[in-house]
Amino acid sequence: MPQPRIAVVGSINTDIIVHSTRLPAPGETVLGGDWIMAGGGKGANQAVAAARAGARVTFVGRVGADLFGRESLARLEAEGIDTRCIIEDAHKKSGVALIMVGPDGDNIIAVAQCANGAVTPADVDAAADAIAAADVLIAQMEVPPDAVYHAIRTAHERRTTVLLNPAPAPAEPIPPEILGMIDYLVPNEVEAARIAGTTKLDAAVKTLLDHGVGHVIITLGPNGAAVFDESGRTDVPAYKVKAVDAVGAGDAFCGVLACGIAEGLDVLDAVRMANAAAAISVTRHGAQPSFPRREEICRLLNSKQRSCEP
């Protein structure tokens, strides 16, 4: 079958990660252990996850005209990702995320948006042909909402399937017209509640579906994912592993989910493939360095008698 095509509109960061015996309380200094520097940003993470799962990926975004920006572009290109729609912004620094990881894989993260905060609808327009050629558009909320929503409109008008990971949850409600253009909305429980304006999960999902979202896929961490559509709820359990670092697990899930959807997999099979990728990722340190390739995902799926073929 043809290689699935994915366009990603999103953020590119450099992650600086410190591992510690515990996470600090406000105002407290905790001496950590080792640290690593790696590629990050939800957009870049999801692009790498999709590429390693077998998709042909084009990225739309911005980096600074600095060392971190050049290294970020080199990392993406090494994964086979098309970076021609990434702008090197001479007026902004590249994005950076400072991450602390505790002994059980829990983490706290502070992000400096920098060039990511300068992504515009005009950047999306410049990449309209790439979005039209894609099977799936992936977007998140680490770049300005007006650029994200313009990308969703652009994809919808060109009949490209839309997957939005609304993380971090936007401060302002997502416009109802935009919700109606989203084929797959992939929040966690907290994000779903904030978007829908209610703390009850079932009520939140109903609100989102009533606004026209095709599928709402709630990520549940070690409990897997719950898929909601007009036919009801289906729970897809996680694979049981020993987690050492949960940084980027949600991004591994979204990128591989998009790849499965782009290939034409049934949504539940695509979620199972995404669960397998997330499970593998949490057994390793870092975000992008932890993401599995398709062969690893298939081995885990096949060990559970689940095919990863479209």
In tens digits, what is the pLDDT along the chain, a chain of 310 residues?
689 999 999 999 999 989 888 898 899 998 877 888 989 999 999 999 999 999 999 999 999 999 999 999 999 999 999 999 999 999 999 999 998 988 877 888 888 999 999 999 999 999 999 999 999 999 999 999 999 999 999 999 999 999 999 999 998 999 999 999 999 999 999 999 999 988 789 999 999 999 999 999 999 999 999 999 999 999 999 998 988 888 889 999 999 999 999 999 999 999 999 999 999 999 998 889 899 999 999 999 988 766 566 5
Lookup: tokens for 96: 């950076």
Instruction: State the fold for domain 5-27+35-303.
Output: UDP-N-acetylmuramoyl-L-alanine:D-glutamate ligase (3.40.1190)
Return all residues near 206 (Cβ < 8 A) that are at least 6 apart: none
What pLDDT score does 244 carry?
Answer: 84
- Nearest Cα to 206, choosing from 230, 235, 234? 230
pTM, 2 dp: 0.93
**DSSP designation for 26:** T
| Dihedral sign, Cα of residue 77, residue 81, residue 82, residue 86 | negative
From the list 82, 183, 251, 269, the catalytic residue is 251
Is 251 tagged catalytic? yes
| CA gap 129, 79 in Å, rounded | 22
Domain locations along the chain: 5-27+35-303
